[in-house]
Each structure stands twice: as C-alpha cells, then as structure tokens.
Structure 1
C-alpha cells in the first residue's frame, strides 16, 4: 500500500485535506464521482489521526488587577483555571464549562490573549493552549467564588509578581506573556511559553532589538513585533468669555471631563485633522473645520501602547453656536464651559497641562507644541506625583 499523501510532506501546501485522501483506501459514494471518499470516510480518517491536545486557560482578574491562582486538590503545583477541550467544544465553550465546574463562576469568556504550543510531555501528546481574559470581576463577584466540586483546595488572588513566583515554569511565562498582550491590546504567540519572533506581544524588547539587528525578521514579523501607538485628535473651543468647552463622557470615571474629540481611524486612512472634524460633528452636532494645529502630545505608561494626541484650535463659539450643540446619545452626558482656573479636578492632570499649554500657544500665535504628558518636550521632568 502506498504512503498516504497526508503522512508525508506535501509540496502543494494549498491543498485542502480532502484532496489528499486517496480514494482506493476509502471507497466512494455509490452515486458520487468516481474516486471521491464519502464524508463519513473523511471524518473517520481524521478522527484516527494523532493530534495535539487542546486546552483553554483563564487569566481571571479582579478589579485591583490581581490574578486568580488555584491550588489543585491532588497536585502540588499551583495552576490557572481551565482545562482540556472535550468532544466538539470550542476553547471558549470548554473554558466556560471549566469555570462553572471549578469555581461556580458564570461569566463571559473574554478576548484571546495568547496561544501557547507545547511539545509532547509525559502524555506523549503536544498541547495547544488558548489563553483568555476573564474579568475584571467586581469585588462582590470575586468574593463569591466557591470550589463546588473539590477539584481545587484553595483559590488565591495574587499580584502578577506573586503569581509568577508560585506558578510552575510551564505556566509563569504564559501568564507573563498573556498580561503583556492584555495591556498592549495585542496577542502573544508562544511555543513552550517562549514568545516567538514576530509575536505581537510578550517579546522582550532587548530580544526584539537583537533579532532586528541580526536580520532575523521577515517583513510581516517585523511589522507585528514593532511597538504600537494609539492616536487621537481633540479640539480646543472657547466661548466669547474665554472659557473652555468640555464634555463629560458616558463611559469611564464619573465626573471626569474631556475635550471634544476621539480616536483616529488610521486603519481606514483617516488623518488627524479629518478625525477631529468627524468627532466634533458626531459628538456635538457641529460641522466645523478645525483651525491650526496647536500641539501634539505624547504619553506613555510602561506596558501600554504610547498615546499620541493632536490638539487643534476650534476657535471661539458664540452663543448661537453653543445653542446648536446636540450631544451624541449614549456617548456624552453633558457639556459645559469653564475658566482655565477651574480645570483642576475636572480633567486629568496631563490633559489640564495640554489645555493650558495650547491656550498659551493660541494667545501668542506660537506652536505647534511638542508635549510629553502635557509638558514641553525639552522641559525638565518633575518628580512623580507633581501636578
């Protein structure tokens, strides 16, 4: 009997699996085309093939950013919630089942953070683990967790650093890469817990730089592994008395105000100026072309993408223009105009500094300004906590 084509390397990688099944080994459907295997024969063939085990793991977080770590009842090593995928389940369905069984927790399974392929271990089978975010859980829900079926003897909320220390070597790197993907808004590609070249998240910056210098990246891997930034455009309007127009979003921290504006749809080719005009039209119902660029602000928090904001001069809105404001339902709650001296307490310190700097540039006819967290780029850095 000749080798099955699917058991040896194929020089036609674009073939579909069914194209590689030789008909003489499977028979054919009585009424089908000669040599074509039946659907049942195809299913039986693939059911008998060696294949990786598939598992689903949960990174369960509470509102303080702590990670849920379990102590299994019959093993010494700590572990993360989850288990193997059974029968016809998807990884998401398997994880939902495991969370209910292990913890009495019925919550939506969140986005995919990482995929970890592990080579065969003691079971002689390779493993593919899908790692998903669950939570953050509210304090009430986090405090109501139970261990109904005795699969685990204890559940602890640990800081990420504490969790890295207690988890076994096969799991700690997986958790570390998954959290990096969470905060970067990306995905980690792992093999045996090690981020691969081109992994969009989890790859150590020094390792990425070394690979770049070695010329080890192809074009696609280079794009995927490069740091990303989030871009936004805002517009600074004042009224005839020089007060700043602020809006209160319906999302985020209550009582926190912002400038009109929002994210730039750069994936659609939108420019910062076009985004500023669109956001003002959508949020306020005013179709006004932005004036000159007053400043560009760059901000960075370790582990997160950099945030870049373009700030445009919206000019002065008279009473008639203010009366035409129509807020976007479900997006904004209120608008108001405030003197510059009342910004503190209404907006974040970084945004307050941006507004004040742009007001000065507008008044003096200078700029555009290069700002870092609201401060001129060449200004000496102040100690943390200074506002």
Structure 2
C-alpha cells in the first residue's frame, strides 16, 4: 500500500524532538484567532448587550481566547473582568468561522449560552475594568436589530439553536446548508427539493421532534390522576409520563411504563393507545405525545403510589370539571378527548394541539327504550 502521509516539512519538529521544541513550534504557528461570545439571558428571555469605551456600536459579552484557554475558560474570564460576573458558561450554541479581516487573521467564534440569570446576579453586575460603559437587556430580535451586521447573525443563529435544542454552523455569519439550526426553513426546503443535500447534510438539517408518552389513569369515580412536578412553572399539574429515550431504542409504550414506575412507583403495563397529539410552535421542535389508557385505579392501588422525590411534589385525582383550574389548555384538551375515546371505545385519536383531526369518532349506540346504559 502506498504511503499517503504528507512529506515532512523540514521546519516541523519530528516526534523524536524534545517536548519543549515541539511545544514552541506549535505555539508559534499563525493559526486563526479564537473568540468566545456569551448569549447572556435573564429570566424573561432578554439578551444582555453592552456598550464599550473602545469602539462604536453594541457588543455581546466576551472576547479573544488567550494563551492556553479553552473558549469556555476565555468567556468565563471575560465575564469576570468586564462585568464582575462569576457564572458557569453553558452549552455551545453556534460556531462562526470568518475569513481574515482588517487584522489579517481568520477568526473562529464560539457562542455559548450563559444563564438565565436571576435578579440577584443581575443586580451584582458592575464594570470593574472600565471597558464597558452601559449594559442593556433587550428582547432577542431587538438586540439583533441594534447589533452591528457582523454580530447580529450570530445572535439570531444562537437563539435559533437554543430554541431548537441544536447547534448552528456559520461561515462569516451565514448558516451553512447542513447547519442543524439557524438556516431559514424556506431555504432548507428549497435546497432539499432541488437535491442540494448529501445524506449527512440532509439528516442534520431536517427539522426535529421531541416525543413523550403519558398514561391516563382514573379512579372509580372517573377523576383523573395528576402529578405536580417540582421543576418548571410552579403550580402546574401533569399526567404521569415523560420523554421517550429513543436514542436508547425505547418505544413510546416502554417509556410510558418506565415513567409510571419511576414517577409514582406503580409497575403497571399501559393499556391501549388513546391518542397521538402533535403540537408545534415556530422556531421550536415539534412535540409528539402518545397517550395511553392506564385503566381504573382502586383505592388500594392509589394508596401504593410513591412519588419520585427528586421530580414530583404531589399527586391528586381531579374530577373532569376541576381540570380547568389545574391543567393548561393544551393538555386539558388532550385529556378530555382521551376520556371521550375511552368511554366510547374509540381511537386512537389523531390530535393537533389537543383537537381531533380526521373523521369524527362514532357516537355510542343509543340504548333501547326502557333500558339504561352505564359507562
């Protein structure tokens, strides 16, 4: 087999050179500049933008990575130096590779999420080194409109990546065809229909969906079993269930059984599928929910419920007419349609935002005169 290795550059140290010589060689190479930028959010989803003493226009927090720092370390240092802000640097949202500009060096920018910051941390922000003169909290689109043209595309792509749970791949601020986030959906569709994708780019750019599985239990009076999580918006109630671990090969039915076992301590096999609900909000992944019939729980079974303490606060059963004050409209519509399907023996239903699609389910047959029907 021919030797495909490139010829050795006489100026490049060999493996037998001393470690100090090798380190000095690579430390002196004229590589691209690396910078780290933070999309710093407050609890309302607003973005922190800064005015500086050394240039016109607004900036995002961050700066050039120094010496042997990683981008995360460089951003953490810049936040401390510029804003006296000591917070963890969150996940990578975007990478922007820029050609040489006025400084004659190419630039690679890593954009990371920081926060959301609570009011106490925001109140502690100051400008100790004097480089920052003002700080503003702006809605993401307003921030993008006010930032310079070289920075605004990074913010827009980073916000898209945050909302979609993905990553944006940019070249000089332009989302690339295979970028999982940041690419205009119409552009993605046009490229796809024109055959402009290879297999890897097509798979990366296709829109993604999040899948969950829940179980509808009732007691003997027909009240619905609800659980209150200790995370997210306070005071909300949900059906037992959760996300499908599809990356582990889990099916929705297996996920429903696992979540019931983990959350409320009942080892019960889900019954028949009552409905599949599709929900979508622009800019976010679609959400698909499989809803299974858990059957009727008798008092002894309800008494065996044991909540997962790290996740759930309380459980209760709620009559149908009390759901409005407990459950958000989207889930409430799903529950009510599943109760109808359960009573009629219909389904599985196809729901969009909790509302039935397709042919209407058949109504239960009327009982002959003189007879009564119980459900």
Q: Same fold (TM over 0.5)?
A: yes
Q: 1:186-225, aligned counterparts within 5 Å?
A: 186-225=166-205
Distance, in Å, in 1 between the alignment partners of 2:200 and 2:12 is 40
Distance, in Å, in 2 between the alignment partners of 1:255 and 1:73 is 45
What's the secondary structure of 2:334's corresponding residue? helix
The aligned counterpart of 1:57 is: 37
By how many angstroms is 1:210 displaced?
1.8
Count of aligned positions: 357
The aligned counterpart of 1:346 is: 326
By how many angstroms is 1:26 displaced?
6.8
By how many angstroms is 1:378 displaced?
5.0
What's the secondary structure of 1:343's corresponding residue? helix
Note if 1:121 corresponds to 2:101.
yes
Q: Is the 8 A contact 1:110 1:135 kept in 2?
A: yes
The aligned counterpart of 1:383 is: none
Distance, in Å, in 1 between the alignment partners of 2:281 and 2:343 is 31
By how many angstroms is 1:155 displaced?
0.9
Distance, in Å, in 1 between the alignment partners of 2:275 and 2:293 is 9
By how many angstroms is 1:372 displaced?
1.0
Q: 1:175-190, aligned counterparts within 5 Å?
A: 175-190=155-170
Q: 1:1-387, aligned counterparts within 5 Å?
A: 12=4, 21=8, 36-378=16-358
Runs of 4+ in 1 over 6 A off after TM superposition: none
Distance, in Å, in 1 between the alignment partners of 2:318 and 2:94 is 45
Distance, in Å, in 2 between the alignment partners of 1:65 and 1:91 is 23
Is 209-218 or 337-346 further displaced after alignment?
A: 209-218
After superposition, the Cα gap between the structure-2 partners of 1:41 and 1:267, relative to the gap in structure 1 and judged at 3 Å, is same
Is 151-160 or 112-121 further displaced after alignment?
A: 151-160
Q: Which residues of structure 2 form unaligned runs of 5+?
A: 360-375
Q: Is the 8 A contact 2:13 2:25 kept in 1?
A: no
Kindly report the root-mean-square deviation, in angstroms, between the aligned alpha carbons of the 2 structures.
1.7
By how many angstroms is 1:190 displaced?
0.5
Alignment deviations for residues 318-366 of structure 1 (CA, whole Å, 9 cap, x no partner): 1111111111121111111110110112111111110000000000011
After superposition, the Cα gap between the structure-2 partners of 1:27 and 1:70, relative to the gap in structure 1 and judged at 3 Å, is closer
Alignment deviations for residues 148-204 of structure 1 (CA, whole Å, 9 cap, x no partner): 211011111111122112111110000000000000000000010101111010011
Q: Is the 8 A contact 2:63 2:74 kept in 1?
A: yes
What's the secondary structure of 1:283's corresponding residue? helix
After superposition, the Cα gap between the structure-2 partners of 1:48 and 1:307, relative to the gap in structure 1 and judged at 3 Å, is same
Q: Which residues of structure 1 form unaligned runs of 5+?
A: 1-10, 29-34, 380-387
